[in-house]
Amino acid sequence: MRVIGIDPGYDRIGIAVVEKPSSKEKENLIYSECFTTSAADDIYKRLLQVGQHIRHIITEYKPDILAMETLFITKNQKTAMHVSEARGIIAYEAGLFSLSIFEFSPPQIKAAVTGDGHCDKRAIIKMIPLLIKMSETKKHDDEYDAIAVALTCIASHSSTVHLSIST
């Protein structure tokens, strides 16, 4: 099973492709990055860039599933709206490839990765290298978050309700 994990945004997007070769083998990190768009561009150009990049990653790595963190409501409604729009673009791109979409809340992800649904980011960053084969340390929290989303999906794949979008 190959999962693309997404920590959604429009400014910075954590993206990770994780593979579970078999039930007895440890997950492998195939790819991860923190994709950024330029604050100098308007929101519509940034959303276009998000969609194009997600399409490129799906085309290149051919995941079976897309897993995404649910929107964390912030005090800044403008930011929340733009992240929602980016999530819609990401879901649309997944639908073009008939990928199943799984969503997980931050507490679900934290609990799956660390056993504590209220832990901080440092606990996730510390735990990820113990759970998955990684060749290098990641530079951005967003990458760790995307890896955590993918691992959560793999761990709970059989018991999670999902949305299936087909074209």
pLDDT in tens, the chain (167 residues): 999 999 998 899 999 999 998 777 889 999 999 999 999 999 999 999 999 999 999 999 999 999 999 976 667 777 889 999 999 999 999 999 999 999 999 999 999 999 999 999 899 999 999 999 888 877 789 999 999 999 999 998 744 444 444 44
Catalytic entry in 27, 33, 93, 142: 142
Taking CA atoms, 57 is separated from 39, 66, 113, 161, in Å, by 22, 11, 24, 24
Burial of 1 (0-12, 13-18, 19+ CB in 10 A): middle
| Contact (CB, 8 A) for 38 and 167 | no
State which H helix or E strand residue 69 sits in: strand 65-69
Catalytic entry in 7, 19, 33, 103: 7
- pLDDT, residue 16, reads 97
Between CA 149 and CA 143 the distance in angstroms is: 10
Indicate the number of domains in the chain.
1
3-state secondary structure of 128: helix
- pLDDT, residue 159, reads 45
- pLDDT, residue 78, reads 79
Catalytic entry in 27, 33, 69, 93: 69
Domain that holds residue 91: 2-164
- pLDDT, residue 74, reads 62
Is 69 a known active-site residue?
yes
| Contact (CB, 8 A) for 124 and 150 | no
Between CA 129 and CA 145 the distance in angstroms is: 12
65: domain CATH number is 3.30.420.10
